[in-house]
Amino acid sequence: MREPRIVAMGGGEFDGLLDGFILSLTGRTRPRVCFIPTAGGDRDSAIVDFEATFGDRAETSYLPLFRRSGRDLAAHLLEQDVILVGGGNTENMLAVWRIHGLDRALRAAWEAGVVLCGASAGSLCWFETGTTDSFGPTLERLSAGLGFLPGSHCPHYDGEPSRRPTYHRLIADGMPAGYAVDDWAALYFVGTELREAVAARPAAHAYRVELRDGEVVESTLPTRYLGAG
């Protein structure tokens, strides 16, 4: 039985480093990768981009929920080596997932050792809560993530000016401590424990943000640049 694993990426496009890192976790020459584009409304352009990135290195599939095909969702996900969740509206995505039972199917896949990953909404969803723009341009607190990983999360930490101050404010107001991630960086969890932080850009990092003695403390985590060597 493989261990549960999650790669939570802050944002940015695949460039051969982060996607290569994810594929390497499977130990397969040509792994099975399923894309879930719910957060973006199953838009065709996202599916085209996914195929362009992974089509020559993996056995690819995608799982639409706005145009259901009759496929057994849980069975299909359990057959995968990697499940990639696209970006978009996190709150809408989670609501649709729960209607279709995909939240339970994803937990079963995670517990079976399928690598779960994604950027932005595809990163935030695995945590209990965090910062989201699901309700408009002003960042709000995510109501209820899947909670596979404890605590909170903030993607796009260096990519949007309001992310850092909003995350600090929410932590100060009682949101659980958690992890922030710059664009082009990622957190790799085995089970619920952080194994390491990695990045596709030398300046990208991950951070632990928590409340200590009434003050918000941000600690930069050691982040391994995937292009080194």
Question: The CATH number of the domain where 13 resides is what?
Answer: 3.40.50.880
pLDDT computed for residue 15 by the predictor:
76
Res 171: pLDDT: 97
Is the predicted pLDDT of residue 104 greater than 90, yes or no?
Answer: yes
Does 14 have pLDDT greater than 90? Answer: no
pLDDT digits (tens, 9 = 90+) for 195-205: 999 999 999 99
Give the separation between CA 29 and CA 120, rounded to whole angstroms. Answer: 27
The residues pairing with 35 across neighbouring beta strands, listed in sequence order, are 62, 84
The confidence band for 229, taking pLDDT boundaries of 50, 70 and 90, is low
- Predicted confidence (pLDDT) per residue in 128-139, tens digit: 999 999 998 899
pLDDT at position 10 = 95
- Catalytic site positions: 120, 156
Number of compact structural domains in the chain:
1
- CA separation for the pair 116, 131 (Å, rounded): 20
The residue ranking higher by pLDDT, 80 or 12, is: 80
User: Is the model's pLDDT at 1 over the cut of 70?
Assistant: no
Q: Give the confidence band of 13 by pLDDT, cuts at 50, 70, 90.
A: confident
CA distance 12 to 160: 12
**What does the block give as tokens for 7?**
């790669």
**For 151-168, what is each residue's pLDDT tens digit?**
999 999 999 999 999 999
Structural domain range at position 80: 5-225
Integer Cα distance of 216 and 223 in angstroms: 21
Distance set, CA 27 to CA 20, 30, 94, 110, 116 (Å): 11, 9, 30, 16, 15
54 has pLDDT over 70: yes
pLDDT tens track for 108-129: 999 999 999 999 999 999 999 9
Does the structure show a pLDDT above 90 at 189? yes
